[in-house]
Amino acid sequence: MSVHLILFLFFGAIALAGAINLLAQTHPINSALSLIAVMAALAGEFLLLGAEFVAAIQVIVYAGAIMVLFVFVIMLLNAGVEERTKGSRVAIMFGVPGMLLGSLLVAWAVVHSSGGEVVPVGALPGPPSTIGELLFHQFLLPFEVTSILILIAILGAVVLASKPQVVQKRKEH
C-alpha cells in the first residue's frame, strides 16, 4: 500500500463524491460548487501523474475562470430549484441504473484488457518548458487556430448575450 496509491484513492474519492453530488443536488449553485471540488481533486491527480503544467492550468482556467463564469450566470439568471416531475422520476429510475450498468461493462472491459501495467509517480518527463517547445514547434497550427477560436468565441458571446437592439421604425409623417 504505497503512498501513491493512498493519495490516488483520496483524490479519486473526492472526485467521485463531487460528481455524484452534482447529480444529486437540485439547485444549480450546489452543483457548481461540487464541480469545483471535482476539478480540484483532478488537479491533484494530475500532480500525482507528474503533469504539473496541466494541473496548474486546470486550477487556473477551469476552476478559476470557467466555473466562475458559471456561477456568475447562475446568479444573473437567478436559477431556482429544479422541480421533480413525473418525467424526471422516470428518467432517474431508468437512466441511472442504465448508466451504471454501461459503465460497469466498460470498466470490466478496461480492467480485463489492460493487464495491470503500473504508472509510477511523476511519470511524465521534463519541466513545463518542454511543453512550451512542443506547443510552438509541433503543435503550432492548432495553437494558432485555437487563438482564433477564442477570438470568435468572445465575439459570439458578446453578440449573443447583448440586449436586443430595439430597431426604431421610421414612421412617415
Partner 1 sequence: MVPLSYYLLLSGILFACGVTGFLIKRNIITIFMSIELMLNGVNLSFVAFAAHWHQLAGQVFVFFVMVVAAAESAVGLAIIIAVYRARETLNVDQVNLLKL
Partner 2 sequence: MTGTLNLWLIPILPLAGAAINGFFGKKSSRRAVSTVALVFSGAAFACALLAVLRFWPESNTPYQEYLTHWIRAGSFSADFAFYLDRLSVVMVLVVTGVGFLIHIYSVGYMWDDPGYYRFFSYLNLFMFFMLTLVLANNYLLMFIGWEGVGLASYLLIGFWFTKDSAASAGKKAFIVNRIGDFGFLIGLFLLIQHFGSLNFTEVFDQVKPMGVEASAGRLTAIGILLMVGACGKSAQIPLYVWLPDAMEGPTPVSALIHAATMVTAGVYMVSRSHMIFERAPIALTVVAIIGTLTALFAATIGVTQTDIKKVLAYSTVSQLGYMFMACGVGAFSAGIFHLMTHAFFKGLLFLGAGSVIHAVGGEQDMRKMGGLKTYIPITFTVMLVATLAISGIPPLAGFWSKDEILWKAYESNPVYWVIGAITALITSFYMFRLLFMTFWGDYKGISVDDHGHAHATQGHGEHGHGEPHESPMVMLVPLVILAILSFVGGFVGIHNGFEHFLEPVFGGEFPKTITQGAGNTEWILMGISVAFAFAGLILAYILYVSKPYLPQKIADSLNGFYKAVLNKYYVDELYAAVFVKPLIDASSKVLWQGVDRKVIDDTINDAADGARHVSDEVRHMQSGNLRSYAGWIAAGAAIVIAYMTWLGVSR
What is the contact surface with partner 2 in residues (CB under 8 A)? Answer: 91, 102, 105-106, 109, 112-113
Tally of residues, the chain: 173
CA-to-CA distance for 11 and 17, rounded, in angstroms? Answer: 10
- 66: contact with partner 1 by CB under 8 A: yes
**R_g over Cα of the chain:** 22
Q: Which does 51 bind (CB under 5 to 8 A by kind): partner 2, partner 1, none?
A: partner 1
Residue 42 neighbours by CB under 8 Å, 6+ apart: 11, 15, 58
CA-to-CA distance for 44 and 114, rounded, in angstroms? Answer: 24
Whole-angstrom CA distances from 139 to 46, 135, 142, 146 are 22, 5, 6, 11
Among the listed residues 22, 37, 56, 59, the single contact to partner 1 using CB under 8 A:
22
Q: Which does 144 bind (CB under 5 to 8 A by kind): partner 1, partner 2, none?
A: none
Residues 33-62 binding partner 1 (CB under 8 A) are: 35, 38-39, 42, 45-46, 48-51, 53-54, 57-58, 61-62
Q: Which does 105 bind (CB under 5 to 8 A by kind): partner 1, partner 2, none?
A: partner 2
Nearer to partner 2, 79 or 152 (CB): 79
Nearer to partner 2, 95 or 128 (CB): 95
Which amino acid, one-letter code, is at 46?
F
Residue labelled with grid coordinates 519541466: 127
Q: Which does 127 bind (CB under 5 to 8 A by kind): partner 2, partner 1, none?
A: none
- Yes or no: say if 135 and 57 are a contact pair by the CB < 8 Å rule: no
We find the least distance from the C-beta atom of residue 97 to partner 1, in angstroms, to be 10
Q: Which does 100 bind (CB under 5 to 8 A by kind): partner 1, partner 2, none?
A: partner 1
